[in-house]
Amino acid sequence: MTGSGQIIDGKAHAARLRADIAQAVIARASAGARAPALAVVLVGDDPASHVYVRNKTAACREAGITSIEHRRDATLPEAELLALVQQLNRDPAVDGILVQLPLPAHIDSARIISAISPDKDVDGFSPVNAGRLATGLDGFVPCTPLGCLRLLQSTLGDIAGAEAIVIGRSNIVGRPMASLLIGASATVTVAHSRSRDLPGLVRRADIVIAAVGRPEMVRGSWLKPGCTVIDVGINRVPKESGEGTRLVGDVAFAEAAEVAAHITPVPGGVGPMTIACLLENTLKAASLQ
């Protein structure tokens, strides 16, 4: 099979999910409940983080979810950030808490994430929620892998028995993605920078999840014909013309689309689903309160 790669339209999937969430928020309001509320904490001035937070806030507003931004200087002492998280944990008007990563180097991210109440941890990064996912219990699932699973299931239906490879082992994507795929009864390989013969491993896979953060690393020639490719990468690279930059994924898209049956584009694939799943998790957090 060549030249037939069908593009998985993440934007369209996300728009449907967001419309469903907006409906559910309206239904809650008719029943007398207040709007779900998300507290977003942004420390420092990482430009990409500012863009992500702006997009998340706009998506909340559009779905009828209240978002409260807490911006702090890059010099914020760790103890003050901890105190802010604890205050948000106690605040009955806050359903979900999101601390945008990366945090400045002087702050221990693991300590901050562990301090978020598991019932408000809409990113699903706390050890409690990571443990729930790893052991098959209900909890908050990190938004990016959850979005990837949704795209896979709406494209392929049941993925039980499929050979899947996850390239990358981060706590934000790779590890939770592997847990979700295991939960869906796929046969899962987790590859990373120390894996031997990555092309050979990828060649076996019906489902390829690329989450390494290296521009266009996965080549078309590595893929099994007819496979499904989910590209989590968002990498900014110089344009060929030498002027300005463009976004590319972790997969060499044009080559891969010649071999794969289904592939997500960058941008417009996984990214929009991440935000939609954040709204879904926030709605879930509000229902738990």
Please, which residue, 144 or 228, has the CB nearer to ligand GUN? 144
Kindly indicate which of the ranges 16-24, 28-36, 93-101, 163-171 contains the residues binding ligand GUN, using the contact rule CB under 6 A. Answer: 93-101
Site for ligand GUN (CB under 6 A): how many residues? 8
Q: How far apart are CA 176 and CA 183, in angstroms?
A: 10
Please tell me whether residue 68 binds ligand GUN under the rule CB under 6 A: no
One symbol per residue from 95 to 124: x for binding ligand GUN (CB under 6 A), - otherwise; what is it?
A: ---xxxx---------------------x-
- Give the SS3 label for residue 29: helix
Q: How far apart are CA 107 and CA 79, in angstroms?
A: 9
Q: How far is the CB of 47 from ligand GUN (least distance, A)?
A: 13
User: HSE-up of 228 (CA within 13 Å, CB side)?
Assistant: 18
Q: How far apart are CA 39 and CA 33, in angstroms?
A: 18
Q: How far apart are CA 87 and CA 73, in angstroms?
A: 18
Please, which residue, 69 or 255, has the CB nearer to ligand GUN? 69
Q: Would you call 100 a catalytic residue per the annotation?
A: yes
User: Of the residues 95, 119, 121, 123, which is catalytic?
Assistant: 123
The CB-nearest residue to ligand GUN is: 101
Q: How far is the CB of 185 from ligand GUN (least distance, A)?
A: 26
Q: How far apart are CA 289 and CA 35, in angstroms?
A: 12
Cβ(202)–Cβ(222) below 8 Å: yes
Q: Would you call 153 a catalytic residue per the annotation?
A: no
Beta bridge partners of 236: 247
Residue 135, judged by CB atoms within 10 A of its CB (0-12, 13-18, 19+), counts as: exposed
User: Of the residues 95, 100, 121, 250, which is catalytic?
Assistant: 100
Q: Please report which helix (H) or strand (E) contains residue 34, including its range.
A: none
Please, which residue, 125 or 253, has the CB nearer to ligand GUN? 125
Q: How far is the CB of 44 from ligand GUN (least distance, A)?
A: 12
Please tell me whether residue 276 binds ligand GUN under the rule CB under 6 A: no
Q: How far apart are CA 189 and CA 205, in angstroms?
A: 9
126-185 binders of ligand GUN (CB under 6 A): 143-144, 172
209-248 binders of ligand GUN (CB under 6 A): none
Nearest to 143 by CA among 232, 229, 65: 232
Interface contacts to ligand GUN, rule CB under 6 A: 98-101, 123, 143-144, 172
Residues marked as catalytic = 56, 100, 123
